[in-house]
Structure 1
């Protein structure tokens, strides 16, 4: 089994310089987590709940829901800027580090919404 085949089929990594299956799946998780977090946060705010993150709360008070999307876009921008700095096998850590906290936030928001609704 050649090195490229191991990278692509076993590890889910692409050829150097290209995203593999694993990284693409993680970027999809980022997109789903972003939408989940924003939607559940907006629903909670609509129901009278308060954002627990003080930075996000302040931004939302000033700029509304656009602030949430702007903060998330900024985080993705930082991730995309840092990705080329990593060796290829470690590139999937960028979307993993973005998706993880946002998926946790979505799950937490859903648990709070279940209690409130």
Structure 2
């Protein structure tokens, strides 16, 4: 840690950001698949989609609508990724994977409550 007047700068440990980003993109793929599968299992069991945008896409276009929404989210991330310094690029897949991973756990919990 170093201090420059009123600002404090923390020295971050050396992290292989390329490897971290690669691992996070794998998590994005797994969480996307998990979210889609658990969503459709839940819908088949009579549960409802709580996200109004996703609900509309699913009601109008089914699985294709859900996949298009996911593809749009990934597309936005891929377009914004080059705008970030390399050290901060892992935040893009982390920002995609985190809510989808949480959704998987919520979906699994809701599905478990139907039995």
Question: CA separation in 1, counterparts of 2:111 and 2:48?
Answer: 12
Q: Give the number of the structure whose residues are more often helix, by fraction.
A: 1
Q: Which structure 1 residue ranges, 4+ long, deviate > 3 Å from structure 2?
A: none
**Counterpart check, 1:81 vs 2:86:** no
Superposed displacement of residue 68, structure 1 = 0.7
Structure 1: give runs of 5+ residues left out of the alignment: 1-9, 14-19
How many pairs were matched up? 103
Q: Quick check: which has more Rg, 1 or 2? A: 2
> TM-score scaled to structure 1, two decimals?
0.85
Which is bigger in relative contact order (C-alpha 8 A, separation at least 6)?
A: 2
Q: Larger % of strand: which?
A: 2
Query: Alignment RMSD, CA only?
Result: 1.2
TM-score by length of 2: 0.86
Match of 1:12 in 2: 16
